[in-house]
Amino acid sequence: QVQFVESGGGLVQPGGSLRLSCAASISAFRTYAMAWYRQAPGKEREWVASISLGDVGDYADSVKGRFTISRDNTKNSVDLHMNRLKPEDTAVYFCNRRYRNLPWGQGTQVTVSS
CB 39 within 8 A of CB 98: no
Does residue 2 have a pLDDT over 80?
Answer: no
Measured CA to CA, the distance from residue 64 to residue 88 in angstroms comes to 14
The pLDDT-based confidence of 3 (bands split at 50, 70, 90) is confident
Distance CA 114, CA 103 (A): 34
Q: Using one digit for the tens of pLDDT, what is the confidence trace for 58-110?
A: 999 999 999 999 999 999 999 999 999 999 999 999 999 999 999 999 999 99
> Taking a C-beta distance cutoff of 8 angstroms, is the pair 9, 108 a contact?
yes
Instruction: In whole angstroms, give the CA distance from residue 13 to residue 55.
Output: 30
